[in-house]
Structure 1
């Protein structure tokens, strides 16, 4: 039977596109089948009314080792956030920066009540400690929770509640900080050694760049795969594609070979966008809400980072709400969000709601993580492999690495 390609890849997210790039570079023919109308998976950007809306607030960490090897940073036109954060407290607003990287933030950081002076010294000590640890060393350490780790490092309750908890909650998408200490060390090291950035035209430019190696015949959209049998792939429309190998690069909820159930451990997030005539703050920082029982965890003014996010010059405000808010009354949810934020930003009452994304599967559960998945976790059978960040840890770096490793494993079996 005629083969459509040597390898069929199911899913055009970061992992699948990375695998396609590696396979094509090795001279292998590929066919990528994507169920949706575009590339990116969980990393996509929509254009709505002249605004660029990332599907879920995300930042790209330039220190990611896989990304440095596979992406053209210059072509992405990366626009960076300043290191640090704006801290929103009941007593008011303060700023915590990184004087080692931005000397101009030294005064505001020293005066900030979000951390004790000893905390600030411990933060510097932690940066130096992780600078001396390799990523392999980090992922070989015993795992404890991030909360236990920070307490072990001697940080006070003040900085825990006013910086680490809201900051890491925005990254891990869970507020108990049960996420593995390995993941905390890795992320903190990446923040310390590079920039947190977004491509000028949105996070969706990352998968689009990876997909540049594919022709229109090699990347097919609206292909919802229902079954995989050996090298045969069948879609819900009854179309059958044939290959020597199949790589499943979907998240586990959408995998055609796994039990599709709602019990797969993952973290959800709601991402709400507002527009306004005036920015709530001018610094290129993320604002963290430290109030107990809050709805909004963090705020980012996207047009301050890249003006391309707003075509007409109005400001674009991104809010992250941790958890699943899809079943809430949406008008009430918007009203509650505005009522919460007007404490610091009275002009929030005049913000215009643009769109809300409810993302059920935003990140895999990262209570236990690795940086080198066992070969057997990628191998389904002799003709079928799988990849994705859930096999390692929830990050763009892990998605790329898992895609690369799966592609290399298939290349090795082809010879």
Structure 2
């Protein structure tokens, strides 16, 4: 905790600040950063004892265990535009993803941004030779082994299908996000055929990938939102913040003046000029930014719509024997169990596990099996995915978040209003896309609206407000 930046108690005074931000998740902290940099005095109130919201990390015996295991992309533009995140250390996964399909492992999507059909065809030949994981993990192997083997027709399709997949990713990479956001909108399951994806690779590649990116294996997400997520995948690398998800909110808080963030302060009512709190009275201000999760926001402003949510359960296992892999995100295209995707996280980010031990993080989407059977069911599936025994793996933690990801079914407003009234604003991933990029982008939109209404000349905020992935 950054004690010099945020305080665990709040001493109210009569001084009026320019803006009070309610909620110290990434959206609230990012909005405060933009406002502070523009010269406004800002206070951030957080009901919980610590900042970060869903981007929190539990520390157990030298392991760093994320609560919701959210994936980032190196292509997220808001990571560059948000004050404090210019120094965010990112740990990328191996290029593309590793798919477990028809009992075999296949590398897919491991192509650089492609600008021509010729380039796509060249990359497709590489996709058609996918290395397999060894059947016996070994103690310190940790790398893909075995001679290259052609991808068999099936989940991923024949080499011609691989060519079409590479070309479809190339087209997405070459299309501007603002253009993707104006395409005709359908559930992504209906729209994929018009996007150039081979039918056999929809279930074998796109469905498991979007399950990992948007927690939506049913493919009901708006095609616009899904296209933006696939664009981010095609133009960047999946990655994690070094040290844990809480690194991101901690850096945002560190960029604020000392004392800006006050934890343990619960807002009970808000208006355009004040925030009423449970234990600290009414705090005056010139504007209020509501930056809580969607349900908490609707409790303070009953007119706000509460979306449906995708539940997420994250299991963290530890072992002394390094499972086979190369730091890839492993997706189960066979859907042979509750796990959607998994990774040896300590290969991606060695700071998350003590020396000599491996950390495996696995994500279950939807309602998980009964708690009494969840670990055994997950272990059986992971043994198949990693082709190694999981009997001696240690279960470190299970984190279940029933409202982890706001759903984005078609039609979905990519830019839900952030300005409710002059002086009252709202931001978060429920106002944009349900990603870290969306939360950060909505924060910048809200800050821009505040600065405009307070006549603070928001010139640093004006670029590219219309797009986000």
TM-score norm. by structure 2 comes to 0.81
Task: Kindly indicate whether residue 21 of structure 2 is the aligned counterpart of residue 9 of structure 1.
Answer: yes
Of stretches 259-268 and 398-407 in structure 1, the one that deviates more from structure 2 is 259-268
Question: Cα distance 1:380–1:257, how it changes in 2: closer, same or farther (>3 A)?
Answer: farther
Task: Kindly indicate whether residue 358 of structure 2 is the aligned counterpart of residue 312 of structure 1.
Answer: no
Question: Cα distance 1:26–1:155, how it changes in 2: closer, same or farther (>3 A)?
Answer: closer
| Whole-Å separation in 2 of the counterparts to 1:178 and 1:340 | 25
What SS does structure 2 have at the residue aligned with 1:119? helix
Q: 1:151 aligns with which of 189, 193, 199?
A: 193
Task: Kindly indicate whether residue 402 of structure 2 is the aligned counterpart of residue 334 of structure 1.
Answer: no
Task: Kindly indicate whether residue 66 of structure 2 is the aligned counterpart of residue 54 of structure 1.
Answer: yes
Task: Kindly indicate whether residue 78 of structure 2 is the aligned counterpart of residue 66 of structure 1.
Answer: yes
Give the CA deviation at 1:293.
Answer: 6.0
Question: Cα distance 1:227–1:359, how it changes in 2: closer, same or farther (>3 A)?
Answer: same
| Whole-Å separation in 2 of the counterparts to 1:207 and 1:112 | 41
Question: Cα distance 1:42–1:59, how it changes in 2: closer, same or farther (>3 A)?
Answer: same
Give the CA deviation at 1:32.
Answer: 0.1
Give the CA deviation at 1:119.
Answer: 2.0
Give the CA deviation at 1:318.
Answer: 0.6
Gaps in structure 2 of 5+ consecutive residues = 1-12, 114-122, 132-148, 456-469
Aligned to 1:107: 129
Give the CA deviation at 1:132.
Answer: 2.9
- 1:320-359 counterparts in 2 under 5 A? 320-325=363-368, 329-344=370-385, 345-359=387-401
Give the CA deviation at 1:106.
Answer: 6.3
Task: Kindly indicate whether residue 422 of structure 2 is the aligned counterpart of residue 382 of structure 1.
Answer: yes
- 1:246-261 counterparts in 2 under 5 A? 246-255=288-297, 256-259=299-302
| Whole-Å separation in 1 of the counterparts to 2:78 and 2:101 | 37
Q: Aligned-residue CA RMSD in angstroms?
A: 2.5
Task: Kindly indicate whether residue 301 of structure 2 is the aligned counterpart of residue 289 of structure 1.
Answer: no
Q: Provide the aligned length of Structure 1 versus Structure 2.
A: 410
Aligned to 2:134: none
What SS does structure 2 have at the residue aligned with 1:32? strand
What SS does structure 2 have at the residue aligned with 1:350? coil
Question: Cα distance 1:363–1:89, how it changes in 2: closer, same or farther (>3 A)?
Answer: same
Task: Kindly indicate whether residue 410 of structure 2 is the aligned counterpart of residue 398 of structure 1.
Answer: no
Gaps in structure 1 of 5+ consecutive residues = none
TM-score norm. by structure 1 comes to 0.91
| Whole-Å separation in 2 of the counterparts to 1:412 and 1:193 | 33
Give the CA deviation at 1:72.
Answer: 6.3
**Contact 1:324–1:359, Cα closer than 8 Å, also in 2:** no
Q: 1:222 aligns with which of 233, 241, 264?
A: 264
